[in-house]
Structure 1
Amino acid sequence: MLDKKALNTARPYRRHTSLWLSALAAILPCPLYGQASPPDTLSVDQTETSLSNYPFHIPAGSLANALIELARIAKVNIAVPSELVGEQQSPAVSGRMTIDEALAQLLANSDLQFDWQGSQLRISKRPAPPRQLQMTRREPDQQTLPDDFRPMEEVIVTAQRYRQNLQQVPIALSVIDDMQIDRAELRDLQEISYRTPGLSVSSYSLGQPSIHLRGIGSNDDGAAMDSSVVLFVDDVYIGRISSIDLDILDVDQIEVLRGPQGTLYGKNSIGGAINVRTHQASADHQARFTLGLGNYNARYANLSLNGALDEDEQWLGRAVIDHRYREGWQENLVRPGEKQMGKIKSRLRAQLLHRIDEQWQMDWNLDASRDNLNSTGRIPVAGRVPLARRDETGSALPTDFFSELGGDYKHATNDLPGYTDRTIWGGSQRIHWQSDDWQFSSISAYRHSQFDWLEDSSGLPASSTAQTVDLNVRESYREYSQEFRLQWQAHERLQLISGIYFLRELTRRQETFFFTGASAVSQQFNTTQNLALFGELEWQLGERSHIGLGARYNRDKKTLRQTAINGGAPAIILENFQSHQSNSWQDFSPRLTWRHQLQDDLMVYGSVTEGIKSGGFQGVPGNLQSAREIIQPESALQFEMGLKAQWQNRWRLNLASFVTRYRDLQVVQFRTIDNFGVFETSNAASAKLSGIELEMVYSPSPQWTFSGSYAYLKARYDSFRAADGRDYKGSTLRQSPEHSAHVSADYQTVIEDGPLAGKLQWHVGMQYQDESYREPDNQITVQPAVTLLDSKLSWQMVNQNWKLSLWGKNLTDRAYIAHLYILGGNDYALFGTPRTFGLSVEVPL
């Protein structure tokens, strides 16, 4: 027979404390002890009480004190024998929720359960199962097994800056937690995008990711331009795309908010926001080491430490160190013996948390990463404009040159040994204070990144054609941010969040384009200052309806100094010039939401939301006139309706539909000139976006869970006349696949006897993204559809608590394009990773 505790994470270290529950109960308006006299059926008053939402702010600590506080806030009687509560501790509970939801969180780590007896709550010990860990005999509504064995759990999110049940948030929101990340071996944001409706992630290079959400995204990577989808990590804004680390480390939960989020997330969230929460330090003493091996000589190691640093558990610490290495999977035919697409990455994340008292808490966070990659071979995939042969015997398409050299997506022909070297580090301090009715937070952060990248953009050797171009980008970025946030939930029908935010960014970027016998250089130094005031109020109308109203005032100022040197280059930089521009913009972004609880497990909602993307100045302008042009902000007005439902703790179904009016698009075009060209950015278009998104989870038994998502997106220009006079009205926006879908199955069981005794988990997932376009002219530069299949099998030993995992990515070894771009009228691709597989072992220390 297995020991159930052996399959669970070790319980936190508990400090012995005295329990004076009887004395405290004597001064409360509701008794905590005594025999209940339950009626045969629930009363109407009790039903209404259990369904009402209350503003709970209960700090982590003694479970006895937490129950007393809950009883005070909800004005409900709780009957519990003191010997059951003992010295047990409970997690913090914060946010507006029902009594049942609050109690479920408080008792999650205990061996207690609750039930209603008339108008009184009764706390009792959970009954032991007939056989320990006999999952097949467990009913869905019992609570006798570890959390990861429950058919479906409540999902708590912080998307609106306070804790809420996912099913009560009136926005389209996708959530991927640490359990899903582990089971599916998810490693980066691109893999997350395959599981998220409407999200598309593509990278021209490690430091130039292109993130699009619901058809909205940005492609100008100039020092004075911004992304259209923002990333927050532990409340800290990650502004510059070159400083976005797409890889996942020690993540507790990822929340993808689809559609404009200007009120709470500020500028540049016009497409949406990605809110990442890492694991927080706790009193649970843990030390775990993971070692992994894979094909392409992949090796990785991870060490995580967590626990209390003093006997009183006032000082808590957590640290994670991760190192990964993989040889390249792409061979270079021009440079024999050289493998490309290799990667070395080292990362650190640490937190020190101080619980000052029941009201005050502070934490200090540090993260750092170092990326070192070799060449990422570019492959010619579509030829339309011939290139002159080096031996002056004529010309040929780049695809013909590539074929003559024997190239394919696993065999590149670039003669330049490219590289990527990036360092990111940052720190933050968060101060939290809360009373019965108020919460205050201060978030101070500093971030710094250095990015150096050299690449052969055409993927062809100089021995074949002189019409090649190589690119070197060097960028330094610094960011300072400060946010003060105040929340009020004194009234049971009102809650308010308000704040002030300040941001200062310094970006220095140099791009050098190497042609045969010439080089063009663009240098930009930009300073951004942003100040914002925001607030949002939610008011409960009746028992089941809520209306929310929010707004944000935003002031943005950018100052850009730049120098351009032609250097005899045939394109990109057409003349030498220097310029100095400065401009400021102001914006007011409102939001209106409504939600109505049709039933306890069925909610409908609607919203009208506006968002903006900052204005700026073009990256790599070809001449002084382009450099002086001011790029105005983009704006989006979205109308959304949705439904969120959950049945019998087995089904969860979330559906959203939206229509967005997208104005003043900052369109980047590459105008071809003699096999090369110049970049041109302007507010050249408007568009209409509409779509339907579906997410589903089904748990027919404790062993099986099925999940899936689907998105239909129609993103069309309704006005767009290009610089060359062509009309692209009706064309599809770039990186906007019409259809995308994901399905997965998870199985878990317990093997009770024999040498394989332990917990077994199996995951299989399939992702699909439709074809998408990279240019307004939808007849060229079309990225094909892709279908990928992944799987993972894990086995956790019962006694030593070791975990052994076997995983595989792209199991069908499909050749697919991860990024596509046009250069000189021809298409070049960066291919995705072929089939990879590996084995890892995780051991407690």
Structure 2
Amino acid sequence: MTDQASIRRISYFSLGLLALLASAPSYGADGGVEEIIVSAQKRDGRLTDTPVSVSVVGERWIEDSNLTALPDLAEAVPNLTIFSDFLYNSTITMRGVGSYSRNIGFDERVSLYLDGIYLGPSYGLNQNLLDLEQVEVLRGPQGTYFGRNAIAGAINLKSKRPGDERVVKGRARYGSHDTLALQGFVSLPLYERWAVSLSAGLQKRDGLTDNLVTGETLGNHDRNAVRAQARYRGPAFEANLSLDRSAANERALIGDPLSDTFGVAPDSFAPAYGEVMFNTSPAQSLEAVGTGLDLEWTLANGGTLTSLTGLRATDAAMKNDTDYSPADLLHVDYEEDYSHFTQELRYASPVGDAFRYVLGASFLDQKALTDRDAIAGGDAMALGMVPGSKVSNVGRVDTTAWGLFASADYDVSEQLTASVGLRWSRDEKSADWMIDGSAAPAFGLATGLVDVKRADEDFSPTVSLTYALSDEISGFARYAEGFKSGGYNLDFVNAGIFPGGIEFDKESARSYEAGLKGAVMGGTLWFSATAFWVDYDDFQVNQFRDLGGGRTAIVIANAAKVRTKGLELETRLAPTEGLDLRAWGAVLDAQYRDFASGGIGGSDVSGNRLEAPEFEAGFALDYSTALSDRLDAFVHLSFSHAGGYFITPDNIKAQQLLGGGTVPFGHIGARDMLSAKLGIASGGGWRVALYGENLLDDRSVSSSLRDFFGTISEVRREGRTVGVELAFEF
């Protein structure tokens, strides 16, 4: 059960918000929250009328705040957690449920889209928020509309299309730790029906951790992104072509060790946080390129036919000093290549009819290649390995996925709308993979080849009722299902589970939601409140399982039943021109209902919590006022709080060392993030501001890791940063 303290928090939060509203009974004529249009059901509709839990972060919010990359959204959206300290562990979690692409045989649970086109594995999380019109965050299973691997939710990034007017804008930031961020956007109309745009971004930052052996710093940022678009608009036809590329090349900090290599004693080489002694520096690189083609025909009857075509390729690589010490024992060298083609074709009936429907089909062809080596160093005789030898796993997974979907809305009366939807999906996977653990007999790793195939079929229905209490307020109740396809654990697996234990089955979810949302007080206040209950069956758990005695196994298994339930609240108040207030909060109860052997030494961890805070809350304020006929002053202030949470099914806060004593592990503490921006702007289109992030200097742990040998390490949040921002638009 959700603890009483969390219930009290959300109650106090709600009461405080109501008190704020009650204290401001009159509003200026220029106030009001603009109407928001979303495409959560594969057609444009008012957010108020959409029977789904959706959070929207718009272009204005992105520009006025300190949001620069996709992971920043976690501080502005309830029940959303994004981890991206290093690429190979990038994770999106919604309502306590998420996953990362630990290997090419394991898929994500939250699907990421750019203009409705699937982006692929979780390496794409470090998306720069370039030229975006808005970000739509859909919580809960989205099987009917988004299909495979949207079992926890979906995020759709909607880019700003080239328009009929010339737009040139840019932003430059410089701040603590030599942080440099540059963004630019140009949109130009061409001829009568054509327009093009180009956007680019660059992020750099010094590393914050010193490697005392090599003299390098770890944890630096070196990322860039570019996107080009071309748009054609005719009387009944529109075409949008986009090309994008993003890249990163960094010395990643995967973990600052708290223990020695084998988890026997506390780290004695560089025990202070911010200092490590690795004989080689960890590194990561990423290059992702893609193209998307969006074609839309408006037919004579008012219906629309839409085609979405995507091509993407992602190359990711990582190196890590796996012994986390100055000794030259073992390091890993990983490379993954993903490429996929997607096609979606759908027809949407005319909007004004009492009976409306959408029919569609989708196709995905994805190829994933892996080449992973664990390479013995000069001191590897201590591990029973010959220096220079290596443990390898190499192979590929081919995935083909088809989907057919249909949805219908019927206006039973002026106030009541009934909606139904269904998607049939079929996923086919083939794996051709090899592991060779013979060079390290002491590790007990597998050696052999697999050439296997599997297929999953699924029917994902959605049923909802929407009742309009007024033109501006509606309530909804929704039932939905979703699934995550099965796969293969293509990692450094133990001989005991090879080959029969590397395959796992699909998981499924059943979701129940009810909510109320809309605008009140003359449109000056918009609100959304949602209660949800989701049951997951055959839940796939991916973990470094502690077998006891310092032994570790990399396991993926259908090991648990999971239930998540809770409440979400979002509000936005715009009482007068120049003032915009937002507040949000969430309570979450996410538990393993049945996980009989998922803990240390195969212990029963049923009833333990998943990896998500029980309580979150935050607010944001944007205010601007005229200083003169030509100058305005503006301020942005935002704060977010998230409670602590466990990161392993064992729900522990400390790891027992083999030599006695403990070190912190397994729990992420509560975070409190305060950011601000203060500046002046001219009517001519320029602005200058001072900004600050993490102004409370929260340096709590952001990730905690137990690696293969039993090493315990952690990464903490970057402390307070300040800087200056220059921006222009004309």
Q: Quick one: structure 1 residues 330 and 261, their matched pair in 2 at CA, closer, same or farther if it must change by over 3 Å?
A: same
Instruction: Give the Cα–Cα distance (whole angstroms) in 1 for the partners of residues 551 and 280 of structure 2.
Output: 19
| Contact kept in structure 2, 1:195 and 1:741, CA below 8 Å | no
Instruction: Give the Cα–Cα distance (whole angstroms) in 1 for the partners of residues 256 and 115 of structure 2.
Output: 38
Residues 431-830 of structure 1 aligned to structure 2 (within 5 Å): 431-435=295-299, 436-457=301-322, 459-462=324-327, 469-489=330-350, 492-514=353-375, 516-517=379-380, 518=385, 519-569=390-440, 574-620=445-491, 621-623=493-495, 625-629=497-501, 630-647=503-520, 648-672=522-546, 675=550, 677-722=552-597, 724-733=601-610, 735-752=611-628, 757-780=630-653, 781-798=666-683, 800-823=684-707, 824-830=709-715
Instruction: Give the Cα–Cα distance (whole angstroms) in 2 for the partners of residues 572 and 509 of structure 1.
Output: 21
Q: CA deviation at 1:573?
A: 6.1
| Contact kept in structure 1, 2:81 and 2:94, CA below 8 Å | yes
Instruction: Give the Cα–Cα distance (whole angstroms) in 2 for the partners of residues 544 and 575 of structure 1.
Output: 62
Q: Quick one: structure 1 residues 571 and 644, their matched pair in 2 at CA, closer, same or farther if it must change by over 3 Å?
A: farther
Q: Quick one: structure 1 residues 844 and 592, their matched pair in 2 at CA, closer, same or farther if it must change by over 3 Å?
A: closer
Q: CA deviation at 1:529?
A: 0.1
Q: CA deviation at 1:441?
A: 0.5
Residue aligning to 1:840: 725
Instruction: Give the Cα–Cα distance (whole angstroms) in 2 for the partners of residues 712 and 827 of structure 1.
Output: 30
Residue aligning to 1:328: 207
Q: List gaps (5 residues or longer) in structure 2.
A: 1-25, 654-665
AA aligned to 1:568 is: A
AA aligned to 1:615 is: G
Q: CA deviation at 1:457?
A: 4.3
| Contact kept in structure 1, 2:71 and 2:126, CA below 8 Å | no
Q: CA deviation at 1:702?
A: 2.5
Residue aligning to 1:428: 292
Q: CA deviation at 1:541?
A: 1.0
Aligned to 2:494, the other structure's residue is in SS state coil
Residue aligning to 2:247: 370
| Contact kept in structure 2, 1:564 and 1:573, CA below 8 Å | no
Structure 1 residue corresponding to 2:178, chosen from 281, 292, 297: 297
| Contact kept in structure 2, 1:609 and 1:639, CA below 8 Å | yes
Residue aligning to 1:344: 222
Q: Quick one: structure 1 residues 279 and 510, their matched pair in 2 at CA, closer, same or farther if it must change by over 3 Å?
A: same
Aligned to 2:469, the other structure's residue is in SS state strand
Q: Which sits farther off after the overlay, 760-769 or 285-294?
A: 285-294
| Contact kept in structure 2, 1:566 and 1:576, CA below 8 Å | yes
| Contact kept in structure 1, 2:70 and 2:129, CA below 8 Å | yes
| Contact kept in structure 2, 1:318 and 1:352, CA below 8 Å | yes
Instruction: Give the Cα–Cα distance (whole angstroms) in 2 for the partners of residues 140 and 496 of structure 1.
Output: 40
Instruction: Give the Cα–Cα distance (whole angstroms) in 2 for the partners of residues 573 and 156 of structure 1.
Output: 55
Aligned to 1:358, the other structure's residue is in SS state coil
Aligned to 1:181, the other structure's residue is in SS state helix
CA deviations over 1:305-354 (Å, ceiling 9, x no partner): 112111x2x11101112222222122223333x22211211211010111
TM-score normalised according to structure 1 size: 0.77
Instruction: Give the Cα–Cα distance (whole angstroms) in 1 for the partners of residues 154 and 198 of structure 2.
Output: 26
What root-mean-square deviation, in Å, do the aligned CA atoms of Structure 1 and Structure 2 show? Answer: 2.1
Q: CA deviation at 1:227?
A: 0.2
Aligned to 1:599, the other structure's residue is in SS state coil
Instruction: Give the Cα–Cα distance (whole angstroms) in 1 for the partners of residues 137 and 170 of structure 2.
Output: 30
Instruction: Give the Cα–Cα distance (whole angstroms) in 2 for the partners of residues 456 and 561 of structure 1.
Output: 28
Q: Which sits farther off after the overlay, 576-585 or 219-228?
A: 219-228
Residues 60-75 of structure 1 aligned to structure 2 (within 5 Å): none
| Contact kept in structure 1, 2:693 and 2:721, CA below 8 Å | yes
Q: Quick one: structure 1 residues 185 and 570, their matched pair in 2 at CA, closer, same or farther if it must change by over 3 Å?
A: farther
CA deviations over 1:470-522 (Å, ceiling 9, x no partner): 33220111010111010002762111111000000000012223455243222
Instruction: Give the Cα–Cα distance (whole angstroms) in 2 for the partners of residues 552 and 268 of structure 1.
Output: 13
Instruction: Give the Cα–Cα distance (whole angstroms) in 1 for the partners of residues 352 and 64 of structure 2.
Output: 41
Q: Quick one: structure 1 residues 699 and 570, their matched pair in 2 at CA, closer, same or farther if it must change by over 3 Å?
A: farther
| Contact kept in structure 2, 1:221 and 1:619, CA below 8 Å | no
Structure 2 residue corresponding to 1:401, chosen from 268, 286, 293: 268
AA aligned to 1:543 is: E
Aligned to 1:532, the other structure's residue is in SS state strand
CA deviations over 1:698-746 (Å, ceiling 9, x no partner): 233323322111111111111111264411111112x221111111222
Q: Which has the higher strand share?
A: 2
Q: Quick one: structure 1 residues 210 and 396, their matched pair in 2 at CA, closer, same or farther if it must change by over 3 Å?
A: same
Instruction: Give the Cα–Cα distance (whole angstroms) in 1 for the partners of residues 695 and 321 of structure 2.
Output: 30
Instruction: Give the Cα–Cα distance (whole angstroms) in 2 for the partners of residues 485 and 773 of structure 1.
Output: 42
Q: Quick one: structure 1 residues 670 and 238, their matched pair in 2 at CA, closer, same or farther if it must change by over 3 Å?
A: same
Higher-Rg structure is 1
Aligned to 1:761, the other structure's residue is in SS state strand
CA deviations over 1:649-696 (Å, ceiling 9, x no partner): 222221000111110011123234664522011101102211111111
Residue aligning to 1:4: none
| Contact kept in structure 1, 2:680 and 2:689, CA below 8 Å | yes
Instruction: Give the Cα–Cα distance (whole angstroms) in 1 for the partners of residues 198 and 499 of structure 2.
Output: 46
Q: CA deviation at 1:289?
A: 3.5
CA deviations over 1:736-791 (Å, ceiling 9, x no partner): 211111112221111125xxx42222111111111111111012411111111111
CA deviations over 1:103-130 (Å, ceiling 9, x no partner): xxxxxxxxxxxxxxxxxxxxxxxxxxxx
Aligned to 1:296, the other structure's residue is in SS state helix
TM-score normalised according to structure 2 size: 0.88
Structure 2 residue corresponding to 1:175, chosen from 56, 59, 65: 56
CA deviations over 1:153-174 (Å, ceiling 9, x no partner): 1111122122211111111110
Q: Quick one: structure 1 residues 557 and 784, their matched pair in 2 at CA, closer, same or farther if it must change by over 3 Å?
A: same
Question: Among the aligned pairs, what percent are the same residue?
Answer: 24
Q: Quick one: structure 1 residues 747 and 289, their matched pair in 2 at CA, closer, same or farther if it must change by over 3 Å?
A: closer
Instruction: Give the Cα–Cα distance (whole angstroms) in 1 for the partners of residues 172 and 459 of structure 2.
Output: 50
| Contact kept in structure 1, 2:85 and 2:254, CA below 8 Å | no
Instruction: Give the Cα–Cα distance (whole angstroms) in 2 for the partners of residues 782 and 622 of structure 1.
Output: 27
Q: List gaps (5 residues or longer) in structure 1.
A: 1-137, 143-149, 389-394
Instruction: Give the Cα–Cα distance (whole angstroms) in 2 for the partners of residues 285 and 522 of structure 1.
Output: 52
Instruction: Give the Cα–Cα distance (whole angstroms) in 1 for the partners of residues 393 and 568 of structure 2.
Output: 42
CA deviations over 1:797-832 (Å, ceiling 9, x no partner): 23x421212211111222122222223445321222
Aligned to 1:187, the other structure's residue is in SS state coil
Instruction: Give the Cα–Cα distance (whole angstroms) in 2 for the partners of residues 160 and 758 of structure 1.
Output: 42
CA deviations over 1:601-638 (Å, ceiling 9, x no partner): 22111000000001111131323843444211110101
| Contact kept in structure 2, 1:579 and 1:628, CA below 8 Å | no
Extract structure 1 runs of 4+ deviating beyond 4 A: 570-573
AA aligned to 2:307 is: S
| Contact kept in structure 1, 2:483 and 2:509, CA below 8 Å | yes
Aligned to 1:217, the other structure's residue is in SS state strand
Instruction: Give the Cα–Cα distance (whole angstroms) in 2 for the partners of residues 220 and 342 of structure 1.
Output: 22
AA aligned to 1:315 is: W
